[in-house]
Amino acid sequence: MTARLNLVVLGKQGAGKGTQCKRLAEIYAIPHVSTGDMLRAAVKAGTPLGQEVAAIMDAGALVSDDLVNRLVDERFKEPDAQRGALLDGFPRTLPQAEALEALLGDDGIKLCINLDVPIDLVTERLSSRRVCQECGNIYKDTDVEAISGTCSNCGGDVIQRNDDQPEAIRARLELYERDTAPLLSFYEQRGLLVRVDGDQSPDEVTDAITRVVREKGLA
């Protein structure tokens, strides 16, 4: 079987990871694996686990490594992930990165892409972000869909998520600096880290990433 194209996409909340992963998933025909989406699905389902996760996410905090590791382990066993995956929101911590290495073994992470965006810009992006509760489409607070509260894609409710409120944004960015930023050194030491300027148009960011993947001979 062809080696898996497993890519980690890092960056502060609001750096554009979700947007780029969706684009790259289409380009490389591999799934966009967002632990945030997986956790929000559990919250929406209203399971006991989902209720526990809801309280944590509303506070802008992170769920336990053990829980997220198990979610990702199960996801990699699904058929569509056999060619690889784009990991968005995982790993967030050094223990998660080490667990991911153990999980994937020799067929591990091929590249870690860090979308570099200034804090003031990601704060602005997050505070103005509105999201459809049904399909996950993202809008700005000035978009017609955000003003009307109705998604033009599926008709679902467009809301501002609790973790996009100012206090939660500050908490999330503080947690990023404490827990996730050290991952840059982790992947740099392994020769896998590539920094991409995220303060460009989405098309320019996509072009920069695909160019790196091509130059590395990964696709």
Catalytic, 17? Answer yes
Catalytic residue among 4, 40, 75, 92: 92
Rounded CA-CA distance 139/164 in Å is 13
Q: Which of 201, 175, 190 is nearest to 98 (CA)?
A: 190
Q: In what order do the strands lie in the sheet with 84-88?
A: 32-34, 84-88, 5-11, 109-116, 193-197
Beta strands in the chain (DSSP E): 5-11, 32-34, 84-88, 109-116, 129-132, 138-140, 158-159, 193-197
Q: Find out whether 161 and 131 touch, Cβ atoms under 8 Å.
A: yes
Q: Find out whether 6 and 100 touch, Cβ atoms under 8 Å.
A: no
Tell me, rounded to whole angstroms, the distance of Cα 214 from its chain centroid: 22
Catalytic, 140? Answer no
Locus of tokens 């699905």: 41
Catalytic residue among 23, 110, 129, 130: 129
Torsion of CA 86, 34, 91, 218, to 10 degrees: 0
Catalytic residue among 17, 40, 75, 110: 17
Torsion of CA 186, 189, 190, 195, to 10 degrees: 80
Catalytic, 92? Answer yes
How many Cα atoms within 13 Å fall on the side-chain side of residue 64? Answer: 5
Catalytic, 172? Answer yes
Catalytic residues: 17, 92, 129, 161, 172
